Structure formats: C-alpha cells, structure tokens
Amino acid sequence: MTGRNGNGGQRRARGPGGAGDFVGARGAGSRGCGGLMGAGGACLCLRCGHRRPHRKGVPCLQERCPECGAVLVREGSIHHQEVTSRRQTAADAKNEG
C-alpha cells in the first residue's frame, strides 16, 4: 500500500544537514523500539533473571515474567544493554567507594 505521495506511507524528515531521509510512522527506519532482531534469542526478566525462548512475532516488551510479573526484555536489545551498562557503572562506583 502506498501513501498519497507514492512512497509507501513514509515521509521525508529533515536531518541535521537539511537532507531528507525517508522516515516511517515510528521513526527512523520504521522499526519501532527494538528493531528487527529475528526469531531466535531469548526474553529476559531484569528483576529476577528468568529467561525463556523468544516467541516469533511477539515482542518481549509485551510479555510479563511468569515468576515476578515484571516486563521482559529481549536479550541483546538496546533495553537490555542499557540496564546492563547502568548496573556495571553502579557496581564499579560501589567498589571504588
């Protein structure tokens, strides 16, 4: 299905240099928050550590941990990396202090 401008429903967004890149309804690349990570991998609970295989077509962020009820994140996703980085920084600060 194409939009009125014939570019598949995308629009041109102005970048810092003024050049227009096609951007979909969800932002750059039209991939949403997690991007396209494929069907494999695992969903992780950052609260209790529960891990289960990722289900194809179901984003981990839309699922809850069966152990504690927290939202699951995709292993290796930007959300997982951010939390891991913050925890490492906090542990380093604790060890220095």
* Rounded to 5°, angle at Cα 28 from 25 and 41: 100
Alpha helix positions (H), 4-97: 78-96
pLDDT tens per residue across all 97 residues of the chain: 445 555 555 444 444 444 544 444 444 333 444 456 777 899 999 999 999 999 999 999 999 999 999 999 999 999 999 999 999 999 999 898 7
Calpha distance 94→38 (Å, rounded): 37
pTM, whole model, 2 decimals? Answer: 0.58
- Report the pLDDT value the prediction gives residue 21, as an integer from 0 to 100: 45
